[in-house]
């Protein structure tokens, strides 16, 4: 049976880098608070690139890294909670911008919030194993700044824009990946966006932004449990032990969450890849950005066991264990 193998990775962020000090000019906050509570120092906020534009730039880097002809791609999935529009799906826009519109392809968006990229990875694994797809672009891309309420200091300082991409191909020699996912839907109101109004008035509704809302402490408590659970569950399903994990690439929400998990699991914090200091929380883009940046820094090598772990709105938590 064929399994997926990662041929290339890439990431892209907007040019506009915004520091904590920059934010403190428009919100009642300060660098010390944000740094101590989250580990975040800067984030990128897009001025003119939408989710599909960032996705395309990340995808081109992954294609370049893979050294393949993009004409072999037969699937594009964009994990996002901030699509360019409700329709068409961002993945179709990406296909067009990559000039791949005239080849047979399955494309769709997937919204699993901060776990979205891992849901897309798990979906592609299943599509490859069932021989429906041979070569897939899996992209996490967000322009979260579109849905941030800049009067809410509890959320506006945390998030940033960006995209990360994996180019994955079917191989008969690849090591199988192991996955875990779980959801607790009755906690949906701890992390959500404002809903869109129903409209029986038959009059147009103007200017509704579905702002992001979060009960920070509830999400913090959930995250500590969820990250440990997702790590333990995926290891249990594999034939490996925790000691054999070379690197953990987690969703980049808060350095303190990862510190708690590392302490509780007695696992070295140095094996957790962290880059929220530069990028903030980019939701579905954070894991592929962290992976691509770690690879560019030479931290990722063949035969390593890399564990990806995500958590967020849904509430959904997920993990994938990949032997490279
Ligand atoms: O991918 C999504 C996953 N999301 C997360 O993982 C977020 C998880 N939660 C967290 O990371 C933390 O809960 C936050 C960083 C969001 C907040 O940290 P906290 O330690 O839970 O702070 P808090 O909400 O309990 O607020 C403590 C104080 C409050 O002031 P008072 O009432 O004690 O006077 C807040 O008003 O900090 C205040 N505060 C701020 N002060 C300066 C809240 N946000 C800010 C801010 N700057 N940006």
Residues 29 and 140 in one domain: yes
Closest CA to 120 of 186, 166, 52: 166
- Rg of the chain over CA atoms, in angstroms? 19
- Verify that 44 and 152 share a domain, yes or no: yes
Instruction: Reply yes or no on whether the pLDDT at 201 is more than 90.
Output: no
Task: Provide the percentage of residues in the chain whose pLDDT is more than 70.
Answer: 100
Domain with residue 302: its CATH number is 3.40.47.10
The helix/strand/coil state of 188 is helix
For residue 48, what pLDDT band results from cuts at 50, 70 and 90? Answer: very high
> Is 46 in the same domain as 194?
no
Same domain flag for 233 and 134: no
Which residues contact residue 140 at a Cβ distance below 8 angstroms, ignoring those fewer than 6 apart? Answer: 78, 79, 80, 116, 117, 120, 163, 164, 165, 282, 283, 284, 285, 286, 287, 288, 289
Q: Which amino acids bring their CB within 6 angstroms of ligand 1?
A: 29, 33-34, 37-38, 114, 153-154, 157, 191, 216-217, 219-220, 223, 253-254, 257, 281, 283, 312
Render pLDDT for 57-110 as a digit per residue (tens, 0 to 9): 999 999 999 999 999 999 999 999 999 999 999 999 999 999 999 999 999 999
103-121, pLDDT tens digit by residue? Answer: 999 999 999 999 999 999 9
Q: So what's the pLDDT on residue 239?
A: 86
Going by alpha carbons, the residue nearest to atom 39 of ligand 1 is 154
Q: Is the model's pLDDT at 189 over the cut of 90?
A: no
Say whether both 158 and 233 belong to one domain: no
- Tell me the pLDDT tens digit for each residue of 224-249: 999 999 999 999 999 899 999 999 99
Residues 188 and 285 in one domain: yes
Specify whether 214 is located in the same domain as 197. yes
**Are 248 and 282 within one domain?**
yes
Q: Out of 140, 171, 202, pick the residue that ends a domain.
A: 171
Mark whether 157 and 286 lie in a shared domain.
Answer: no
Same domain for 152 and 235: no
What is the Cα–Cα distance from 44 to 41, expressed in whole angstroms?
Answer: 11
pLDDT given at position 207: 83
Instruction: Specify the pTM.
Output: 0.97
For 45, the domain range is 3-171
Q: Whose CA is nearest to atom 8 of ligand 1?
A: 220
- Does residue 167 sit in the same domain as residue 208? no
Domain stop point among 171, 188, 214:
171
Number of structural domains found in the chain: 2
Domain boundary at 122, 150, 171, which? 171
State pLDDT tens for residues 130-163: 999 999 999 999 999 999 999 999 999 999 999 9
Buried b / exposed e along 196-217 (16+ C-beta atoms within 10 A): eeeeeeeeeeeeeeebbbbeee
Residues 157 and 224 in one domain: no
């Amino acid at each position: 049976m064929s399994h997926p193998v990662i041929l290339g990775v890439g990431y892209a962020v907007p040019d506009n880098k915004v520091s904590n000090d920059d934010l403190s000019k428009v919100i009642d906050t300060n660098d010390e608070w944000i740094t101590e509570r989250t580990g975040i120092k800067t984030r990128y906020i897009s001025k003119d690139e939408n989710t599909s534009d960032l996705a395309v730039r990340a995808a081109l880097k992954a294609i370049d890294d893979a050294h393949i002809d993009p004409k072999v791609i037969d699937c594009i999935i964009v994990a996002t909670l901030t699509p360019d529009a409700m329709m068409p799906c961002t993945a179709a826009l990406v296909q067009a911008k990559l000039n791949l519109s005239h080849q047979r392809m399955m494309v769709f968006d997937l919204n699993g919030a901060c776990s979205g990229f891992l849901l897309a990875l798990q979906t592609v694994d299943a599509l490859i194993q069932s021989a429906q797809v041979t070569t897939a672009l899996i992209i996490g891309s967000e322009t979260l700044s579109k849905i941030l309420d800049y009067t809410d200091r509890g959320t506006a300082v945390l998030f940033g824009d960006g995209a990360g991409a994996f180019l994955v191909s079917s191989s008969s020699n690849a090591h199988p990946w192991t996955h875990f996912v779980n959801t607790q839907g009755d906690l949906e109101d701890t992390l959500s966006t404002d809903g869109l109004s129903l409209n029986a008035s038959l009059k147009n509704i103007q200017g509704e932004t579905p702002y992001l809302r979060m009960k920070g402490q509830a999400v913090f408590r959930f995250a500590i449990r969820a990250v440990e659970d997702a790590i333990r569950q995926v290891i249990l399903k594999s034939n490996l032990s925790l000691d054999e994990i070379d690197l953990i690439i987690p969703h980049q929400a808060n350095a303190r969450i990862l510190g708690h998990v590392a302490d509780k699991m007695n696992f070295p914090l140095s094996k957790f890849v962290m880059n929220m200091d530069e990028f903030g929380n980019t939701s579905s883009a954070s894991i592929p950005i962290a992976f691509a940046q770690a690879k560019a820094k030479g931290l990722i090598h063949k035969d390593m066991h890399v564990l990806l772990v995500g958590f967020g709105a849904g509430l959904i938590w997920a993990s994938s264990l990949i032997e490279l």
